[in-house]
Protein backbone atom coordinates (compact mmCIF):
# COMPACT_ATOMS: atom_id res chain seq x y z
CA UNK A 1 0.00 0.00 0.00
CA UNK A 2 1.30 3.43 -0.93
CA UNK A 3 1.10 6.30 1.57
CA UNK A 4 -1.53 8.04 -0.58
CA UNK A 5 -3.68 4.86 -0.57
CA UNK A 6 -3.43 4.61 3.21
CA UNK A 7 -4.30 8.28 3.61
CA UNK A 8 -7.42 7.80 1.47
CA UNK A 9 -8.37 4.64 3.37
CA UNK A 10 -8.24 6.53 6.68
CA UNK A 11 -10.32 9.33 5.12
CA UNK A 12 -12.89 6.84 3.86
CA UNK A 13 -13.14 5.07 7.22
CA UNK A 14 -12.99 7.99 9.65
CA UNK A 15 -13.08 11.25 7.66
CA UNK A 16 -16.49 12.49 8.78
CA UNK A 17 -15.73 11.93 12.46
CA UNK A 18 -12.20 13.29 12.15
CA UNK A 19 -13.37 16.56 10.60
CA UNK A 20 -16.01 16.92 13.33
CA UNK A 21 -13.28 16.43 15.96
CA UNK A 22 -11.08 19.08 14.29
CA UNK A 23 -7.33 19.49 14.11
CA UNK A 24 -6.86 20.10 17.85
CA UNK A 25 -8.86 17.02 18.87
CA UNK A 26 -7.06 14.78 16.39
CA UNK A 27 -3.71 16.22 17.41
CA UNK A 28 -4.38 15.18 21.01
CA UNK A 29 -5.06 11.61 19.82
CA UNK A 30 -1.82 11.68 17.82
CA UNK A 31 0.19 12.76 20.84
CA UNK A 32 -1.42 10.02 22.95
CA UNK A 33 -0.43 7.44 20.33
CA UNK A 34 3.15 8.76 20.23
CA UNK A 35 3.29 8.20 23.98
CA UNK A 36 1.97 4.66 23.55
CA UNK A 37 4.64 4.05 20.90
CA UNK A 38 7.32 5.23 23.33
CA UNK A 39 6.02 2.83 25.98
CA UNK A 40 5.93 -0.06 23.51
CA UNK A 41 9.50 0.70 22.41
CA UNK A 42 10.66 0.68 26.02
CA UNK A 43 9.04 -2.72 26.56
CA UNK A 44 10.58 -4.07 23.35
CA UNK A 45 7.41 -5.88 22.24
CA UNK A 46 7.78 -5.84 18.44
CA UNK A 47 4.11 -6.60 17.69
CA UNK A 48 2.99 -3.79 19.99
CA UNK A 49 5.56 -1.42 18.45
CA UNK A 50 4.20 -2.17 14.97
CA UNK A 51 0.64 -1.61 16.17
CA UNK A 52 1.53 1.76 17.70
CA UNK A 53 3.44 2.85 14.58
CA UNK A 54 0.29 2.12 12.56
CA UNK A 55 -1.75 4.26 14.97
CA UNK A 56 0.74 7.14 14.82
CA UNK A 57 0.68 7.02 11.02
CA UNK A 58 -3.13 6.91 10.97
CA UNK A 59 -3.50 9.96 13.23
CA UNK A 60 -0.80 11.80 11.25
CA UNK A 61 -2.62 11.30 7.95
CA UNK A 62 -5.91 12.17 9.66
CA UNK A 63 -4.57 15.63 10.45
CA UNK A 64 -3.12 15.89 6.95
CA UNK A 65 -6.55 15.03 5.49
CA UNK A 66 -8.22 17.79 7.47
CA UNK A 67 -5.55 20.29 6.41
CA UNK A 68 -5.58 19.17 2.77
CA UNK A 69 -2.01 17.83 2.72
CA UNK A 70 -1.02 14.92 0.48
CA UNK A 71 1.53 13.26 2.79
CA UNK A 72 3.11 11.15 0.03
CA UNK A 73 3.63 14.23 -2.15
CA UNK A 74 5.00 16.25 0.77
CA UNK A 75 7.43 13.49 1.80
CA UNK A 76 8.62 12.99 -1.78
CA UNK A 77 9.06 16.73 -2.25
CA UNK A 78 11.15 17.10 0.90
CA UNK A 79 13.11 13.81 0.96
CA UNK A 80 12.79 12.35 -2.55
CA UNK A 81 16.17 13.67 -3.67
CA UNK A 82 18.03 12.86 -0.47
CA UNK A 83 18.88 14.87 2.61
CA UNK A 84 17.04 18.22 2.45
CA UNK A 85 20.19 19.96 3.71
CA UNK A 86 23.02 18.39 1.68
CA UNK A 87 21.02 16.58 -1.02
CA UNK A 88 22.98 13.34 -0.54
CA UNK A 89 21.91 9.73 0.02
CA UNK A 90 23.14 8.85 2.60
CA UNK A 91 23.33 12.23 4.31
CA UNK A 92 26.83 13.71 4.39
CA UNK A 93 26.07 16.68 6.63
CA UNK A 94 28.63 17.22 9.34
CA UNK A 95 27.07 16.15 12.62
CA UNK A 96 28.21 19.37 14.27
CA UNK A 97 25.99 21.37 11.88
CA UNK A 98 22.82 19.50 12.87
CA UNK A 99 21.04 21.02 15.88
CA UNK A 100 20.98 18.65 18.86
CA UNK A 101 23.62 16.28 17.44
CA UNK A 102 27.08 16.58 19.02
The whole-angstrom separation of Cα 50 and Cα 45 is: 9
Confidence of residue 96 (pLDDT cuts 50, 70, 90): low
The CATH number of whichever domain residue 28 belongs to comes to 1.10.287.1080
Q: Which domain holds residue 16?
A: 3-97
Nearest to 18 by CA among 61, 55, 47: 61
Reported as a single tens digit per residue, the pLDDT across 8-65 is 999 999 999 999 999 999 999 999 999 999 999 999 999 999 999 999 999 999 999 9
65 in a domain, yes or no?
A: yes
Q: For position 48, what pLDDT does the model report? A: 98
pTM assigned to the model: 0.87
Does pLDDT of 102 surpass 90?
A: no
The tally of domains found in the chain comes to 1
Amino acid sequence: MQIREFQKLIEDIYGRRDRARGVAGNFMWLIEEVGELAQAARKGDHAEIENEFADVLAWTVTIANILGVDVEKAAKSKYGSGCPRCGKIPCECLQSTIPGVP
